[in-house]
């Protein structure tokens, strides 16, 4: 089993408890991160009508619900939203919550979607789980319309310079695996999370990779003691 298959199978295992574990482990703050990502994107895209959003690594459909809710709040007519994920287990949970949404089983680097069919491609806390990351960015660029936006929310790697950085590190490496393990009965999955952040890129490197795919970063912001970073890039 390759690295990507292992990651997918792990997510299949924890699908049933994933939502509750997320809320507990982020102390519910992930909701405000997602809110801000959607609001900022709609502000930058500045259109009252959006043909299609593709949410990649959609998991249990969390981000899809935010896109729908915040589009409505802002008076935006969102015509179509598609969830893409390689984990069938996670999407089974999503389908129960969102029976009206189309879900496609696929990885980020190979999506069965037409060229230039999407206004927005989003991936929330999923890009670090994509082994072929540069290929995924090329794929995002392919399915986006010219001027369309890629929206990435992710736990990014930071240099440890302050006491807060060390506290955050302690939480991610010691508290989170234990709590996540208790809720999901799968400690390995929640040990993987901090490890995957440590092996992950800095925001600077991520922006370089986006540029290589023809996606120009136009907005970056760190939230909650630099735990979560939002990057929005435009297809040029």
- For the annotated binding site for S-adenosyl-L-methionine, the residues are 60, 85, 124
Neighbours of 41 (CB within 10 A): 22
DSSP 186-222: -HHHHHHHHHHHHTS--HHHHHHHHHHTTEEEEEEEE
Q: For 36, phi and psi rounded to 5 degrees? A: -65, -40
Neighbours of 234 (CB within 10 A): 19
SS3 44: helix
**Alpha helix locations (H) across 51-172?**
62-73, 88-97, 133-143, 163-170
Angle, helices 203-212 vs 133-143, to 10°: value is: 50
Cβ neighbours for 202, distance < 8 A, ≥ 6 positions apart: 156, 157, 158
Residue 22's H or E segment, with its range, is: helix 18-25
Detail the residues annotated as belonging to a binding site: 60, 85, 124
């Amino acid at each position: 089993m390759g690295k990507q298959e292992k990651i997918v199978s792990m997510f299949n295992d924890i699908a049933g408890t994933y939502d509750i574990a997320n809320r507990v482990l982020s102390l519910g703050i992930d909701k405000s991160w997602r809110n801000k990502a959607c609001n900022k994107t709609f502000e930058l895209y500045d259109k009252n009508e959006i043909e299609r959003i593709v949410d990649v690594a959609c998991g249990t459909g969390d981000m899809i619900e935010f896109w729908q809710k915040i589009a409505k709040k802002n008076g935006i007519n969102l015509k179509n939203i598609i969830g893409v994920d390689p984990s069938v287990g996670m999407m089974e949970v999503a389908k129960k919550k969102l029976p009206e949404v189309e879900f496609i089983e696929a990885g980020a680097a190979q999506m069965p979607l037409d060229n230039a069919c999407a206004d927005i491609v989003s991936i929330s806390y999923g890009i670090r789980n994509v082994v072929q990351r540069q290929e995924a960015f090329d794929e995002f660029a392919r399915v986006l319309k010219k001027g369309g936006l890629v929206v990435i929310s992710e736990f990014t790697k930071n240099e440890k310079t302050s006491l807060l950085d060390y506290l955050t590190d302690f939480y991610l490496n010691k508290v989170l695996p234990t709590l996540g393990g208790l809720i999901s009965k799968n400690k390995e999955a929640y040990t993987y999370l901090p490890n995957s952040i440590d092996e992950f890129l800095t925001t600077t490197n991520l922006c370089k990779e986006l540029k290589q795919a023809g996606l120009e970063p136009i907005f970056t912001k760190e939230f909650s003691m630099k735990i979560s970073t939002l990057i929005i890039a435009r297809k040029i």
